[in-house]
């Protein structure tokens, strides 16, 4: 354990400070495709009974009209966050008719590209902007890739904790800048160690053959309709997933907040030749918001993001630059197809301990070689993480994954114990023990369990459909309490009324709205 980590742990372990760890906030976003009873992509519109995808705080859509996204609020206990996520699932199943929620991250058998429906958000300017942005994503990357689903885990430490540590360390920058610097340091450590999450929780070692659309690949055939890699943990996070030659130069190494925001501002303002050639419009029809490397900053794909809650009409970069980092969004988590919610409490508690370790451990800046090693380690684990004897790079030297993973879990153990002291339980230590069992035996990992199920004679599609039906039965067997159901019904009705009001207050034309939106990124108050 580093001296810095020891000092920070000792400080937080003092009785006067221990309660701070009970004030960490958690939120979850879970994406999932709607499919019909046969496991084909649902081509029906977003159910109106679920409310407006534009204005509902908890139930929206991601890329496609068929790709639901469930969003919890924040809570100090991840058990409360998962309870809320479960209520959203149960409510949704009362509105889906015969449709199902697809259980894994990798998509069902998809129709041709033209048939995959892009999400619609109504006639307001902001609703149209969201639609045109997605048209741009289709133009740039194709629709198939964007039917992949995942789980985003949002996590923050209380401001009081940062203030306590800033005072102890005698740092004289503003509280905002200290907090932002510490979150960026957390992200650097996440880049160093997130391969461990892919080994422990990766759950997409196989996919439907149609996903490849005939493109060349290095995957193997498991059966006539299933492709896989024998030691893969997360094909979702491999280069089969979200990839872009335009974004290839956009890998900020998170040495400070300014370099991160500057790189994104540059990307949303720099034309990219292939997108320039396509143009923004064909006649009066919008094709994409602009011809720059990124249409908007959210187009940049990364495994973790620094975030700040935005004000109405404010862009994410504006919020970060004006008020600093407030929380992190972990974006690399697969949906576990064996779990109704795709994630469970033990996983959430381990992620808390892992992120707390990343936040409190020393985090020197990433030199270019270490930055590329981080990327290489991550990509090696997602494609062959369970390979016996697999070697990663640490400080320029080869190290066996199993050995390094065991060492990391030992370094995380004091964080789990500190969280347990704060919460008066042993739940985090138990969660860590579950992960140690996966390091000891790779067959206990979700990716290995998926392949074990497929080797029983099921195709990827048959397995996923079986799990989806089981999860539907689970949610439908336990209806919401009347009060909980009524609250979600009200939220749906209110969101529809809010969208209608937005559309009724429309002023000016859409072209001017887009121009003003584009210009806003260049005029950020710092």
What count of Cα atoms within 13 Å lies in the side-chain half-sphere of residue 129?
Answer: 18
Q: Which residue in the block uniquely carries the two structure tokens 């090696």? A: 380
CA angle centred on 249, ends 302 and 287, rounded to 5°: 75
CA distances from 118 to 7, 26, 102, 104, 492 (A): 51, 30, 18, 20, 21
In the prediction, which pLDDT does 34 show?
98
In the prediction, which pLDDT does 236 show?
96
In the prediction, which pLDDT does 525 show?
39
Locate 8 and state its tokens: 């920070």
Question: pLDDT tens digits for the chain (526 residues)?
Answer: 789 999 999 999 999 999 999 999 999 999 999 999 999 999 999 999 999 999 999 999 999 999 999 999 999 999 999 999 999 999 999 999 999 999 999 999 999 999 999 999 999 999 999 999 999 999 999 999 999 999 999 999 999 999 999 999 999 999 999 999 999 999 999 999 999 999 999 999 999 999 999 999 999 999 999 999 999 999 999 988 555 677 776 766 688 999 899 989 888 989 999 999 999 999 999 999 999 999 999 998 889 999 999 998 788 999 999 999 999 999 999 999 999 999 999 999 999 999 999 999 999 998 878 888 999 999 999 999 999 999 999 988 999 999 999 999 999 999 999 999 999 999 999 999 999 999 999 999 999 999 999 999 999 999 999 999 999 999 999 899 999 999 999 999 999 999 999 999 988 999 999 999 888 776 543 3
The strands making up 206-208's β-sheet, listed across from edge to edge, are: 206-208, 226-228, 220-223
CA angle centred on 460, ends 40 and 38, rounded to 5°: 25
Domain ranges of the chain: 20-385+446-520
Q: In degrees rounded to 5, what are phi and psi of residue 30?
A: -125, 125
In the prediction, which pLDDT does 522 show?
63
Candidates 95, 77, 145; CA nearest to 116 is 145
Element at 318 (helix H, strand E): helix 316-323
In the prediction, which pLDDT does 250 show?
72
**CATH architecture assignment, domain 20-385+446-520:** 2-Layer Sandwich (3.30)
DSSP 349: H
CA distances from 1 to 161, 252, 360, 361, 415 (A): 20, 28, 11, 8, 11
- Global pTM reads 0.97
CA angle centred on 178, ends 419 and 373, rounded to 5°: 75
In the prediction, which pLDDT does 367 show?
83
Residues in Cβ contact with 396 at an 8 Å cutoff, skipping those fewer than 6 apart = 369, 373
């Amino acid at each position: 354990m580093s001296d810095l980590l020891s000092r920070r742990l000792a400080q937080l372990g003092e009785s006067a400070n221990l309660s701070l760890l009970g004030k960490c906030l958690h939120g979850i976003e879970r994406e999932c495709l709607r499919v019909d009873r046969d496991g084909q992509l649902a081509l029906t519109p977003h159910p109106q009974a679920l409310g407006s995808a534009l204005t509902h705080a908890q139930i929206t859509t991601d890329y496609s009209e068929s790709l639901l996204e469930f969003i919890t609020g924040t809570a100090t206990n991840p058990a409360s966050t998962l309870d809320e996520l479960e209520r959203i699932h149960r409510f949704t199943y009362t509105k889906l008719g015969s449709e199902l929620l697809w259980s894994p991250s990798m998509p069902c058998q998809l129709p041709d590209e033209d048939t995959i429906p892009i999400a619609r958000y109504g006639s307001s300017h902001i609703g149209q902007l969201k639609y045109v942005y997605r048209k741009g994503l289709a133009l740039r990357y194709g629709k198939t890739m964007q039917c992949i689903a995942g789980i985003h885990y949002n996590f923050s430490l209380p401001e009081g904790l940062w203030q306590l540590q800033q005072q102890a360390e005698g740092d004289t920058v503003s509280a905002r800048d200290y907090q932002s610097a510490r979150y960026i340091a957390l992200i650097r450590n996440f880049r160093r160690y997130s391969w461990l999450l892919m080994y422990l929780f990766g759950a997409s070692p196989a996919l439907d053959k149609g996903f490849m659309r005939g493109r060349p690949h290095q995957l193997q055939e498991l059966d006539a309709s299933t492709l896989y890699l024998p030691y893969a943990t997360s094909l979702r996070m491999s280069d089969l997933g979200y990839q872009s030659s335009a974004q290839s130069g956009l890998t900020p190494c998170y040495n400070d907040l300014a370099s991160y925001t500057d790189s994104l501002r540059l990307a949303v303002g720099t034309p990219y030749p292939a997108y320039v050639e396509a143009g923004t419009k064909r006649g009066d029809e919008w094709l994409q918001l602009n011809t720059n490397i990124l249409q908007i900053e959210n187009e940049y794909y990364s495994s973790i993001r620094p975030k700040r809650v935005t004000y109405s009409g404010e862009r994410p970069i504006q919020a970060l630059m004006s008020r600093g980092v407030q929380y992190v969004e972990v974006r690399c988590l697969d949906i576990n197809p064996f779990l109704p919610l795709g994630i469970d409490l033990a996983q959430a508690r381990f992620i808390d301990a892992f992120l707390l370790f990343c936040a409190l451990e020393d985090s020197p800046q990433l030199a270019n070689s270490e930055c590329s090693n981080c990327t290489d380690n991550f990509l090696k684990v997602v494609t062959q993480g369970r390979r016996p004897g697999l070697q990663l790079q640490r400080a320029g030297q080869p190290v066996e994954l199993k050995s390094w993973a065991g060492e990391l879990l030992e370094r995380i153990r004091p964080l789990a114990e500190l969280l347990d002291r704060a919460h008066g339980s042993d739940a985090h230590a138990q969660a860590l023990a579950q992960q140690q069992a996966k390091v000891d035996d790779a067959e206990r990992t979700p990716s290995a369990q998926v392949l074990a199920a497929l080797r029983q004679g099921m195709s990827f599609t048959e397995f996923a459909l079986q799990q989806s039906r089981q999860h539907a039965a689970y949610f439908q067997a336990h209806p919401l309490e009347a009060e909980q159901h009524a609250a979600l019904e009200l939220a749906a009705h209110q969101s529809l009324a809010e969208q209608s009001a937005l559309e009724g207050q429309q002023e000016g034309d859409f072209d001017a709205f887009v121009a003003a939106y584009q210009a806003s990124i260049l005029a950020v108050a710092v």
